Amino acid sequence: MSQEGFWDNQEKSNKTMQELKGLKNIVEPFAECLKRVHDAKEFLSLTEDDEDLEKQLADEALVLESQIDALELQAHLSGPFDQNNALLSINAGAGGTESCDWASMLMRMYLRHADLKGYKCETIDILNGDEAGIKNVTLRIEGDKAYGYLKSEKGVHRLVRISPFDANKRRHTSFASVEVIPEVDDDTEVDIDPSQLRIDVYRASGPGGQGVNTTDSAVRITHLPTNIVAQSQKERSQLQNKAQAMKVLRARLSALKSQQQEEAMNKEAGDKQKIEWGSQIRSYVLHPYLMVKDHRTGAETGNAQKVLDGEIDLFIEGFLKTRPEDRDKRLKTRGNDDV
């Protein structure tokens, strides 16, 4: 940073600053823990027969334990894309209005979670349901290690509740899938042949300001060889939406390329699952009892409302601290423990 001309290239300097911030977030807490452990050891020699000092040392031990747990969690975020921002998509499963409403509940949960974590979140594309809720949505979530944390959310999410749309008040089961991929830089090497792209423009849907819903500003880009689709309607300008859609397409092609080339990246890109019974990673039961359970790690809580209000760290941390082979084994052998 002290080199001459460092600030001449704003984009490059900002990238370096972000890298510096990430490294500081690793090194500084580690150095602080070492110092506190050293101080606690010295303090220990003074606590003999002094109950007050022993209590202070016990309190300090609890703080250290919490800090070391946080450091341990950081050690699990060492993947090649864990530092990146995240592109999170939610798709309603079969079931019409029920599943669309469940997809909108999940979107609210992730938006609330982003607020709690201090992440910046924006809606790139959204398709509203015919009667209520949403059919699908793509969110861009920007923040420190956003992808590293949120990669735990990819999979099928199942909801069990008394339907607010059923006049007979019967219990319904709904499904929605969540896809999470890392956002990649524009200079990431992804070969995209313009002749293999189909670009469609359409009128943005849903509420919006003047110009958003009155012009064909939304853009959908289809990569013909892979049939991967990326779209954006958040901007008023067609050119801006095209640039955003290309960014999403680049990220999805990069994830696909990594999945095909490296066995290690299979866990990063995740396996496509049917949005139906038996393929869910997590169940949210609101009737006849309250429980949210992650079937990969066994983590569960009876406070379903807190989870739906964005407090999902219990499941994220459980996922990161559980070995992949153990997660797979639990999914294969869980049986009917989630019914």
CA distances from 274 to 2, 136, 140, 196, 285 (A): 53, 15, 24, 28, 20
* Sign of CA pseudo-dihedral 307, 311, 316, 322: negative
CATH number of 82-271: 3.30.70.1660
- Each residue's pLDDT expressed in tens, for the chain with a length of 339 residues: 888 889 898 888 888 888 888 788 889 989 999 999 998 888 887 777 778 888 888 898 999 998 888 888 888 888 888 989 999 999 999 878 999 999 999 999 999 999 999 999 999 999 999 889 999 999 999 998 999 999 999 999 999 999 898 888 889 999 999 999 999 876 666 788 899 999 999 887 665 444 445 577 899 999 999 999 999 998 888 999 999 999 899 999 888 887 776 554 445 545 555 555 456 899 999 999 999 999 999 999 999 999 999 999 999 999 999 888 888 788 777 654 544
Please tell me the number of Cα atoms within 13 Å of 130 on its side-chain side: 5
Is residue 110 within 8 A of residue 310, CB to CB? The reply is yes
Count of Cβ atoms closer than 10 Å to residue 56 Cβ: 14
CA distances from 54 to 41, 44, 46, 313 (A): 12, 8, 9, 32
Strands of the 291-294 sheet, one edge to the other: 120-128, 134-142, 86-92, 171-182, 155-162, 280-285, 291-294, 300-301
Q: What is the pLDDT of residues 302-335, one digit of tens each?
A: 999 999 999 999 999 999 998 888 887 887 776 5
Which among 71, 73, 249 is positioned nearest to 152, based on CA atoms?
A: 73
Q: What is the pLDDT of residues 131-147, one digit of tens each?
A: 899 999 999 999 989 99
- The tokens for 38 are 């050293």
User: What is the distance between the alpha carbons of residues 75 and 269, in angstroms, rounded to a whole number?
Assistant: 20
Domain borders along the chain are: 6-75, 82-271
∠18-24-26 over CA atoms, to 5°?
A: 115
Kindly report the backbone phi and psi dihedral angles of residue 262, in degrees, each rounded to the nearest multiple of 5, phi listed first. -125, 130
Residue 148: partners with Cβ closer than 8 Å, 6 or more residues away: 77, 79, 81, 82, 83, 84
Q: In the prediction, which pLDDT does 210 show?
A: 45
Q: SS3 helix, strand, coil % of the chain, rounded to 5? A: 45, 20, 35
